[in-house]
Amino acid sequence: MDDNEQLMRRAEGLAGLRRVALIINGLAYFVWIGATGLEHGHVAMDAAALKLAQMAGGGVWLVSLLILFWIMARLGKNREIGRLVDDERTQGLSARCYQMGYWALLLGVTGVYTASFLTKVDVNLVAPLLLATGVAVPPLTFAFLYRG
């Protein structure tokens, strides 16, 4: 195997690992913060199960975040692989993903605002879920739209 093939394999491996880590990161953050909202939102759920979801979600989120930082360090250290993984198309996709997070958050806020006319909205329940939506949508969008 020549150097270019090895470089391509390493770039594909890091890109695939980043994609999986982003999916896990987004879902774990939503579980972690969402469970916090459910705990403080006076929802009739088992308190022990919510605490377990918080702890597990937070732990998995932290580990996936550390993996993402490791990937970023690897891409920064090896510029050739970094250029293969983060090309212009990937940078454009990143911008679209942040826009998707904005629009998801805007739709969520609009839904809550509309619901507030029909029923009493518990801010302690809704605010963490909106936060989790705004944070989780960009990495999930990137992971699902990225074609390395």
Residue 37 tokens, joined: 């909202």
Mean per-residue pLDDT for 99-115? 93
- The Cα 89–Cα 71 span in angstroms is 19
In the prediction, which pLDDT does 88 show? 79
User: Picking from 35-44, 112-121, 132-141, which range would have the lowest pLDDT averaged per residue?
Assistant: 35-44
Confidence of residue 67 (pLDDT cuts 50, 70, 90): very high
- The Cα 114–Cα 112 span in angstroms is 5
Mean per-residue pLDDT for 104-117? 93
Q: Where are the domains of the chain?
A: 3-145
Mean per-residue pLDDT for 104-130? 90
